[in-house]
């Protein structure tokens, strides 16, 4: 096959993807990412405009309002995505009846342990204890409700991204969802945190988070539980 024919074949494959069910899955992954991104508008534009000072200077009440509005926004976006995917694709974000496998348990322990080490290095102790002392009881509760809401959309990016690229490349058991979440959520930290190294770390961690979805038998509930632990501990 000539190079011209190969190029045309690739172009036709890409065009067919944009009209396919796989692209619909990809759209839902991007909706989930966009939903997470709405917080950036709140924190860096709308709220500073209202309060007259940047996020770093928010009072306790302003922090709680921020987290509450963000949580509600994320839950609304998640509800829309879940309902729309069920209606248009017959796809449901749910768990399975399968029991935890030994490989899934080991992979989960390794991932949670790795995140504990990373967080320990970052804050000099267990993240959950550090944040309780830093924030106080009230802010701590709202911060962790925020984490739990965030993980719903975060896991949705992985799940829908996985299904989208599997349909494009016709190969399974590759953590496509992790690649998608790494190049979206992970890389976005470069801009929100102002560090390319944090962005690169996010890409690597995103890949690992996507891998855990496969290790856990593509079970949304189990994946959500493990990823929630990585965000909290």
Q: What is the pLDDT of residues 154-163, one digit of tens each?
A: 999 999 999 9
Confidence of residue 128 (pLDDT cuts 50, 70, 90): very high
C-alpha span between 193 and 197 (Å, rounded): 10
| Number of neighbours of residue 129 by Cβ within 10 angstroms | 11
C-alpha Rg value of the chain to the nearest Å: 19
CA-nearest of 74, 227, 70, 72 to 159 is 227
Segments making up each domain of the chain, as ranges: 22-232
Q: What is the pLDDT of residues 52-110, one digit of tens each?
A: 999 999 999 999 999 999 999 999 999 999 999 999 999 888 777 788 999 999 999 99
Kindly write down the DSSP assignment for every residue of 35-57, as one continuous string.
Answer: HHHHHHHIIIIIHHHHHSS-GGG
Q: What is the pLDDT of residue 193?
A: 74
Give backbone dihedrals phi and psi of 193, rounded to 5 degrees, phi first: -100, -10
What mean pLDDT do residues 169-184 have? 92
Q: What is the pLDDT of residue 20?
A: 77
């Amino acid at each position: 096959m000539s190079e011209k024919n190969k190029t045309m074949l690739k172009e036709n494959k890409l065009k067919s993807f944009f009209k396919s069910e796989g692209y619909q899955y990809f759209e839902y992954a991007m909706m989930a990412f966009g939903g997470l991104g709405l917080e950036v508008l709140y924190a860096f534009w709308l709220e500073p405009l209202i309060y007259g000072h940047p996020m770093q200077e928010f009072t306790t009440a302003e922090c709680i309002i921020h987290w509450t509005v963000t949580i509600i926004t994320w839950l609304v976006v998640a509800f829309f995505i879940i309902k729309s995917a069920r209606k248009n694709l017959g796809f449901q974000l749910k768990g399975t009846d399968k029991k935890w496998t030994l490989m899934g348990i080991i992979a989960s322990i390794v991932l949670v342990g790795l995140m504990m080490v990373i967080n320990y290095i970052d804050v000099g102790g267990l993240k959950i204890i550090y944040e309780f002392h830093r924030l106080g009881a009230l802010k701590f509760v709202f911060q962790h409700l925020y984490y739990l809401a965030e993980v719903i959309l975060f896991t949705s990016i992985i799940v829908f991204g996985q299904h989208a690229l599997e349909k494009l490349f016709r190969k399974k058991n590759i953590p496509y969802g992790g690649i998608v979440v790494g190049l979206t959520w992970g890389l976005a930290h470069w801009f929100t945190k102002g560090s390319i190294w944090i962005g690169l770390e996010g890409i690597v961690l995103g890949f690992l988070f996507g891998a855990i979805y496969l290790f856990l038998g593509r079970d949304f509930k189990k994946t959500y539980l493990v990823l929630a632990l990585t965000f909290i501990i």
